[in-house]
Chain A
Amino acid sequence: MQAFIAQCKAELLRSIRNKRFIIFTILFPVAFYFIFTSVNDANMKINGVAWKAYYLMSMTAFGLLNSSISSLGVKMAQERSQGWVRLLKITPLSSVAYVGSKIIATSIINLGIIIIMFLVGNFGKGVDLSITKWVSCGAWLLLGSIVFLALGSLVGTTKKPETAQPIASIFQLGLAMLGGLWMPVVTMPKLMQDIAHWMPTYNFAQGPWRILAGQSVDLNNIWILGGYLVLFFLLSSFIFKKQNAE
Chain B
Amino acid sequence: MKNAIEIKNVSKQYQHKKAVDNLSLTIKEGSIVALLGPNGAGKSTTINMILGLTEPTSGQIKLLGKAPKEKSVRNKIGAMLQEVSVIDGLKVRETIDLFRSYYSNPLSTNELLKISNLESDQNKFASDLSGGQKRRLGFALALAGNPDVLFLDEPTVGMDITSRQIFWETIRSFAGSGKTIILTTHYLEEADNLADRVVVINQGNIIADGTLDEIKASTGMQHVSFTIGENVTSDHLLRLPGVTDVQQTGRRVKVYGENTDQILFSVIRNNIDVSDIETHKSGLEDAFQSLIESSDSKGEDNYASIYRTV
Residues of A whose CB lies within 8 Å of any CB of B are 2-3, 5-7, 10, 13-15, 17-18, 78-79, 82-84, 86-87, 89-94, 245
Contact = CB atoms under 8 A, between A and B. Distances in A.
B89 A14 contact: yes
Nearest to A78: B88
Interface of B: 51-53, 55, 71, 74-75, 77-79, 81, 83-90, 94, 97-99, 101-104, 138, 141, 145
Contacts of A17: 89
Given A3-B101, A3-B102, A92 B75 contact: yes
A7 B101 contact: yes
Contacts of A93: 102
Q: Binding site of B, secondary structure by majority: helix, strand, loop or mixed?
A: loop
Given A89-B52, A92-B102, 15 more contacts: A3-B101, A3-B102, A7-B101, A10-B94, A17-B89, A18-B89, A83-B84, A87-B79, A87-B85, A87-B138, A90-B53, A90-B77, A91-B102, A92-B104, A245-B55
Contacts of B55: 245
Contacts of B83: 82-83, 86
9 contacts: A6-B97, A7-B98, A13-B94, A14-B90, A84-B86, A87-B81, A89-B53, A90-B77, A92-B102
A91 B99 CA distance: 8
Contacts of A87: 79, 81, 85, 138, 141
Contacts of B103: 91-92
Nearest to A84: B85
Contacts of A83: 81, 83-85
Chain B CB within 10 Å, residue with most, of A7, A90, A93 = A90
A201 B89 CA distance: 30
Nearest to B72: A92
Please give me the 5 A-B residue pairs with the lowest Cβ-Cβ distance, nearest first: A14-B89, A6-B101, A83-B85, A83-B83, A92-B74
B98 A14 contact: no
Contacts of B79: 87, 90
Contacts of B98: 6-7, 10
A82 B85 contact: yes
Given A86-B81, A90-B77, A92-B102, A14 B87 contact: yes
Contacts of B94: 10, 13
A127 to B, nearest CB: 33
